[in-house]
Chain A
Amino acid sequence: MDILTPELVPVIVANGASTRVESDLEGRFKIGDEIIVRNINPEGHTRLPQYLRGKRGTVKRDHGVFVFPDSNAHGKGEQPQHCYSVRFSNVELWGREGSPKDSCIVDVFDDYMDLQ
């Protein structure tokens, strides 16, 4: 579209702009895998929060293939890859200040982690 008109507003609202990519690409992880998050500290854009770096978690869900924000924010292309729900115990994340019954489940891209 050249310009967003009032008539097009309901269309763009209803359709959205998914960054899911239809792809046969295999992920590096499967559900149940015990992973360790990479210790990366890029100066550019990343969606890997600091509180996860170097932490151990369990892959709970594979969301499928999506555009990779770290590259897409810097003109380095979409680098599509799997994105997973990974569960981290709050004791793993916060030490003794973390409640043992609780966990954080975070969306982690393939490039952000390795198998333990």
Chain B
Amino acid sequence: MSSAHNRPLSDPEIRVKALESLLVEKGLIDPKALDELVDTYETKVGPHNGAQVVARAWTDADYKKRLLEEGSAAIGELGFSGMQGEDMVVVENTSEVHNILVCTLCSCYPWPTLGLPPVWYKAAPYRARAVSDPRGVLAEFGVDVPEDKEVRVWDSTAEVRYMVLPERPAGTEKLNESELADLVTRDSMIGVALVQAPV
């Protein structure tokens, strides 16, 4: 008897176990494939991938041009592609424009570059307010957008997936590509944070 279940199972636990066991019995799923998927999105596919794309764009002007013109192809050059990122558009933060991403209708998010979305991105408060009060939302994230700067909110209502190319902070001129990638956070590629130079 497994010691992992010396307590009653929660409702979702019961339902998931029931579904999985039924589907296995019917020969429809292989649980080891599910294990592999979980491992993939827990350890392999994540924001560290997007950070490499950003660092490359910061250090290679031609790459950046390709990235902004044909997102999927350029991201694919670095080996990132596929599920929930088959058709990507990268939008650039500049001194004039600040971009922020949302999916008001569900949770669409660029998995190949950022992995799976955080809970707050998928929950009602962010989805409701990002389109109508982006500056208020950004302020809650600690980002104060100057009044004369334009904010663009990208609502992923179709199958195109977006990613923000954040601004490279001052004081990073001497860093190499890998060191730059280490600075790039998931939140900066959603547009709810700025990349900070090392202290």
Q: Do the two chains touch directly in the complex (Cβ atoms below 8 Å apart)? A: yes
| Chain A contact residues, CB within 8 Å of chain B | 3-6, 8-10, 12-20, 47-49, 51, 61, 63, 66-67, 69, 83, 85, 87, 90, 93-94, 97-99, 101-109
Which residues in window 119-172 of B have CB below 8 A to A?
131-135, 147-160
A9/B157 in contact, CB under 8 A: no
A98 touches which of B32, B33, B132 (Cβ 8 Å)? B132
Q: Known interface pairs A16-B81, A18-B86, A48-B157. Does A105 touch B152 (Cβ–Cβ under 8 Å)? A: yes
B28 on interface, CB distance cutoff 8 Å? yes
Report whether over half of chain B's contact residues are helix, strand or loop; otherwise say mixed: loop
* Contact A17–B155 (Cβ < 8 Å): no
Q: Which of B35-43, B179-187, B189-197 contacts A (4 or more CB under 8 A)?
A: B35-43
Tell me which residues across on chain A come within 8 A of B131, comparing CB atoms.
51, 93, 104
Given contacts A20-B86, A47-B158, 12 further A-B contacts (CB under 8 A): A47-B105, A49-B105, A51-B132, A61-B89, A83-B159, A90-B134, A94-B132, A102-B151, A103-B152, A104-B153, A104-B155, A106-B155
Residues of B within 8 A of A (CB): 27-30, 32-33, 35-37, 40, 45, 81-87, 89, 104-105, 112, 131-135, 147-160
Which residues on A sit within 8 Å (CB–CB) of B32?
5-6
Task: Decide: B35 and A13 in contact? CB cutoff 8 A.
Answer: no
CB–CB A107/B81 < 8 A: no
Contacts of B104 in A (CB 8 A): 49, 51
B105→A16 contact, CB < 8 A: no
- Is A9 touching B152 in the complex (CB atoms < 8 A)? no
Residues of B within 8 A of A108 (CB): 157
Q: A49-B105, A104-B131 are in contact. Are A16 and B84 (CB under 8 A)?
A: yes
The answer to whether B45 and A13 have CB atoms under 8 Å apart is: yes
By beta carbon, the residue of chain B nearest A12 is: B83
The distance from the CB of B160 to the nearest CB of chain A, in whole angstroms, is 5
Task: Please give the distance in Å from A41's CB to the nearest CB on chain B.
Answer: 15
Contact residue among A9, A63, A103 (Cβ-Cβ distance under 8 Å from B87) = A63
Instruction: Check if A13 sits within 8 Å of B153, measured CB to CB.
Output: no
* In the complex, residue of chain B having the shortest beta-carbon distance to the beta carbon of A84: B158
Query: A12: which B residues are within 8 A, CB to CB?
Result: 82-83
The answer to whether B33 touches A5, judged by C-beta atoms less than 8 angstroms apart, is yes
* CB-defined contacts of B86 to chain A, threshold 8 Å: 16-18, 20
- Residue in chain B with minimal CB distance to A68: B158
Determine the distance from Cα of A93 to Cα of B105 in the docked complex, in whole angstroms: 17
Question: Is the CB–CB distance between B155 and A5 below 8 Å?
Answer: no
Interface contact B33-A8, CB-CB below 8 Å? yes
